[in-house]
Amino acid sequence: MAKWLDTIASRLGYAPRRGRRDFAAARFDRLTGGWNSTNASANADLFRALDTLRARSRDLCNNNDYAKRFVGMVAANVVGGTGFTLQARVYDKPGVPDSGANDAIEQAWARWCKRGTCDVTGRLSFRDLQILIAKAVARDGECLVRRVRGKSAGNAFGYALQVIDIDRLDTRLIQPAEGNKNEIRMGVEVDAFGKSVAYWLRGYHPGDTYGIAAGAVQAAHQRVPAGEILHIYQADRPEQLRGLPWMHAAMTRLNNLGGYEEAAVIACRVGAAKMGFFTSPDGQPPMDGEDAQGVPYLEADAGSFGVLPAGVDFKPFDPDYPSAMYADFVKACLRGIASGLGVAYHALANDLEGVNFSSIRSGTLEERDQWISLQEWFKDAFMEPVFDDWLASALAFGQVTLANGSPLPASKAEKFTGHVFQGRRWSWVDPLKDMNAKIIAIQNGLQSPQSVAAELGVDYEDVLVQIRQAQDLAGKLGVTIGAPAPVKDSPEEESAETKALAAVTGEVRSLRERIDAPPPDTGLRDLLAAIANGQEQTAQMFAAVMARQPEPTKVDVHNHIAAPDPTPVEIRNEIHEREQAAPIVNVEVEAVMPAQEAPQVEVHVEAVMPDEIRTAIVSQPERVTTTEITRDTMGNIKTSKQTEKDA
């Protein structure tokens, strides 16, 4: 059956079916004939291409806008504006930091990082060294840093660094292992395990002929032990001994795009000139004269029209380029280049057109993860070994001193090794939402303040110290920082609101006790007593009566207590009842009670009540109130007692 189907397919022009299990990318046909299919070691590939790749990468960084932009982005995002910050983490015991030692180490490190100290040339600060190394690795793929120890360092710490151009590490220097000698591969001497043992450096840069006499023989290769060299590069394959320029995957497209943009700009310039050609039967177009070099020319004034001789014609040259697809084509190329470089397109191209908050946030987060990964690699490859060397040398030379001037003992160097290098961090497009999310995470125990501070690129302990310093300084100057925290009132010093509330409550509760004589209307007196005591029976009666009233009922009660001149005392109680299921009683008390003789009380009552309420009040039993007042020798009221009972 299968053969019969193959026969029919072959007669129809189709290839017979074959059961293939190989990979499509491994096939050899007319579409894949030019595709590389040989395998070589990483070092073999580097040996053939490294010098050329480095030279072309440097040319792009010198002349291509986007290549220069990428190298600048590496320095800005990996190193940052201030470089990596040292945070010493020395503890006397778990959880108890040794603040004196931490401050001493950080201050000594800051002194060493200054320009003229950490670099053997005296021209660079440690931040400058970090930026120089980051750019060199991105552009050249690798960088060499020599550790200079002892008196040769030229500083009080006995330790300095020298950045060496990678071209001095001879890529063409190859030597097989013979006898007890190690193998040398591309200038790197390795042992049987492939571990770097030494580096063979040229005496001069191979391209540096300035100041060297013609025909002078350069110094032979110098063997430098690996313990004196930091060879900084990122390995992409096992056993890789040298580093590749980070732009190698995008270099071809970068170069082609640069050439395309240059051609487009020239075409625009030519098109703007609107040039043309004169043609005639005898090949001699009319000219106005010749210039100093004998080249004929024709003058053309703006806004003027000339007349051509008989038989002479003009052919305009008007190139219509670049076309409308120019911008889209450049964007498409830059997206591929950005992918090859591992950065966001909008950051590389400086193109924020059509970008919204969600898209830029998503792209930025992915890119920042890449930068953080590079920061960690840079710390492991450069910062950590430099700090270890520096600390041992600084302790040995007595340069790490406490506040009292005594140096930290070199015998306890192991204790002082604890530290963290904090790289730069970035602010957000909408920092309020992100910071609120961090606060919520801290409140719910999902994140610590220390981790949030680390994400912001600061030391939490330093932040707390700075806050305390700011508060102390503000207190000395009498300045309030932020909103003051609520302070609980002490029993001796109550707040104004508490005093006012207590005064109102006391006035309501002691309303009857402020009346020396009973009012003429006994029923009204009982009504006031019911309001003061909060009797529910009277309130329910008010509700029942109000429910039957067609119009709103208003009850106004005014009590005026007059005091002798010149200080009047007025107490006004207003009760407003509106039409509703249950009456609402609003009591407003205004009182100023100075020390005085026994007060004279005048009560003036204005009331409008329904007959049902008046009948209910009058039906209450009469009560007799007796007031007893005790005075001291000065005539002031000492005690006052009121007794109330049924008549």
Written as six digits, the tokens of 67 are: 């290549």
Give yes or no: residues 516 and 465 share one domain.
Answer: no
Residue 561's pLDDT band (cuts 50, 70, 90): very low
Q: Is residue 547 part of a domain?
A: yes
Give yes or no: residues 156 and 240 share one domain.
Answer: yes
Of 70-84, 140-154, 543-557, least confident by mean pLDDT is 543-557
Q: Is residue 38 part of a domain?
A: no
Give yes or no: residues 642 and 517 share one domain.
Answer: yes
Give yes or no: residues 451 and 561 share one domain.
Answer: no
Beta-bridge partner residues of 147: 161
Number of domains the chain is built from: 3
Give yes or no: residues 514 and 642 share one domain.
Answer: yes
Q: Is residue 447 part of a domain?
A: yes
Give yes or no: residues 468 and 533 share one domain.
Answer: no
Residue 489's pLDDT band (cuts 50, 70, 90): very low
Give yes or no: residues 523 and 630 share one domain.
Answer: yes
Q: 238 preceded by cis ω (within 30°)?
A: no
Predicted confidence (pLDDT) per residue in 357-396, tens digit: 777 777 788 888 899 999 999 999 999 999 999 999 999 9
Predicted confidence (pLDDT) per residue in 520-539, tens digit: 555 555 655 555 555 455 44
Give yes or no: residues 471 and 514 share one domain.
Answer: no
User: What's residue 147's pLDDT?
Assistant: 97
Q: Is residue 191 part of a domain?
A: yes
User: What's residue 479's pLDDT?
Assistant: 83
Beta-bridge partner residues of 619: none
User: What's residue 358's pLDDT?
Assistant: 75
Q: Is residue 443 part of a domain?
A: yes
Give yes or no: residues 623 and 528 share one domain.
Answer: yes
Q: Is residue 80 part of a domain?
A: no
Q: Is residue 267 part of a domain?
A: no
Give yes or no: residues 563 and 521 share one domain.
Answer: yes
> Which residue pairs from 318-325 have beta carbons closer than 8 angstroms and sit at least 24 positions apart in sequence?
318/271, 318/274, 319/267, 319/270, 319/271, 320/271, 321/264, 321/267, 321/268, 321/271, 322/264, 322/267, 322/268
Q: Which structural domain, as residue segments, surrounds residue 176? A: 142-208+217-244
Q: Is residue 288 part of a domain?
A: no
Give yes or no: residues 182 and 238 share one domain.
Answer: yes
User: What's residue 602's pLDDT?
Assistant: 56
User: What's residue 528's pLDDT?
Assistant: 53
Q: Is the per-residue pLDDT at 211 higher than 70? A: no
Q: How far apart are CA 27 and CA 33, in angstroms?
A: 9
Predicted confidence (pLDDT) per residue in 123-167, tens digit: 999 999 999 999 999 999 999 999 999 999 999 999 999 999 999
Give yes or no: residues 451 and 549 share one domain.
Answer: no
Predicted confidence (pLDDT) per residue in 333-359, tens digit: 999 999 999 998 888 998 888 777 777
Q: How far apart are CA 112 and CA 156, in angstroms?
A: 9
The torsion angle over the Cα atoms of residues 334, 335, 341 and 347, rounded to 10 degrees, is 80
